[in-house]
Structure 1
């Protein structure tokens, strides 16, 4: 563990930040942070969120010096770890991601499909710029932990550029907590072992004290599983592994599309909840996470993120499900593809664990989406509109040329203020590119 450990959080004006602070309190026995730099470009939000963060740390009796700053360089300089949890374009851009695809007969979602691609195009260059600064002025062995969506694509970009980075999602810890509750055991005894990509995976094994309980769940606890993962039982048995929630966008595309067309976009609900949370955070009496934060999404984020950070500085290895380079773990994928997999994490590094052979029913879709993710990174970096077309064409829930051509101008126009790499292409298409605010 470094002396005088400094942790920087980029995007700390997020309403998630109190979750992170809660995690620091819970992991104080393993992770001794001396300086916490909370950075955000939105000064007013940062003051509000930073205020409740300071009160929470004071209540927990933690001697952590907290600095609020809009200066990213100040936050990153000499940091031992940098956590990235930003949203380029805010909830307004998210609302566009969830709505423009619906006009073209596609799922509107912020991390997958056309909306997920739009978010990736906005976000990859920003995160890589942050990572470049980390490489220049943070500690030489500083870790970057990315919680920014789409996590798999962002991590692929980071690792492809040679950064010391790892991607994290809260999906796995949610499954761990569900299994612990189902079998009435302490979560520390449970290790989950999914196969696939971020937001595109199947749970093949859940180990309790080293014994796989998925066969028991399928044989004896199927009603509870179907309540937890609302997919048809026949499909679950056919797959031999239960799919993540995000697979509904693929297995039930048309049904979900129809639901989305007749429901309020999630972005509108989240925007209202964020406004409510920020009002609560303003209270000088608030010194703990409010109950409303549990409705925001990102359950167990604090525990997953800070537990992972602690493990990266702990000589004793522990299991985490993280986004890392494939490097032969899943045959049929390239070594530089990024997968979400069970790994042993310690101060010695991150060691992905061997996977059993992946059957064609799962491997084919994984290869398909992984190819799309590679093209998405290429498009985000090149600023070439044809690369955007290639990524859309490769995505399983798009894949038709006429749909690609219908989606393309909507995607570029809704994200135009945040796509400086596409300035020339936007001008050629007659799309104005106002400055981002």
Structure 2
């Protein structure tokens, strides 16, 4: 597969041609007719900013306290999956969207396809892009244009109860075969205990597994989207996890549910396949287990080739009707690429997310307390995981339809009335149908 930057078109195409669609969107970019990047201390440029990520208010407060020519008004909104994205979409349609938006990587292409965002290519020069993890830049690049400022990266890692593994002489698994063997040993040693959880309510969990296995659900050909959620790599991942579920080697509790958090506290779940931000989650849930946890690279299909997908991860995008693009980009870059911005985020929320700007990893490393993990150097692990993410993964134009269909079917999978292979097919059909309904050109590659 060619490198994404070499693809002639990497964007959503409506009934219009790809070129005209991008040209129309690109007309929103630049600074023509807009407020200047900086106002004055007496008359600052005032931005509006919507986000739900923890620490956002404190970051805004830190920016406002240190800047007098740009001021930011912050509004906390529900997380994307709990109503944040519909709120954003409705605001864009009504022409009342804020200047700056927090949008996760998976949803970015959908907002671009709807013409909701501005092309920021004029602001993301090569020097600016060099500050970011290449994979993060790839995930914000569509049609050879840049649509958002990367904020963090969220590669998968495996968190595990080091004390339990050592007690039962189980080594942290490096491959998925070793992971299954370890799961069998754990279940045999303590029948009520499981190595980790397959989250049935979170489609991004399984998507990351397909991504890590080498899946490629979306691509473009000419002026059309190519959709195939049933490619061989994804089927391989589906069959593996179907076996783990059928043999009851993993828990199937919903993510962050009382059942899941209770199993962590009781020690009946001794591992967590999560993202880089998961360290902060764990340390907040089971504070009494301080010093008992450690982290390792997520198991891969090839012991000699580490690989990781991403679970979540966020960006900052400018809404199409904003007339303060330059100021919004300046604020977004301050949050993403300055020591003060990263320290404010981590200090306020105990976030363990990997900065999308590698140069700020030392700042995050110093700001995040890893004593829960025995002082382990988590950020070196995260950096290796981030570098192993396949940059060819492309998110599709109908993320909501894909996730809704997949999520509904995953519940049936753990209930025994469906299979993961069927779930892949259901997600495929729903994605193609939704894209066509929205007037996009779609090539069904299944």
Instruction: Report if TM-score (shorter chain) is over 0.5.
Output: no
The structure where helix makes up a greater share of residues is 1
Higher relative contact order (CA 8 A, sep 6+): 2
Q: What TM bracket, shorter-length normalisation?
A: under 0.3
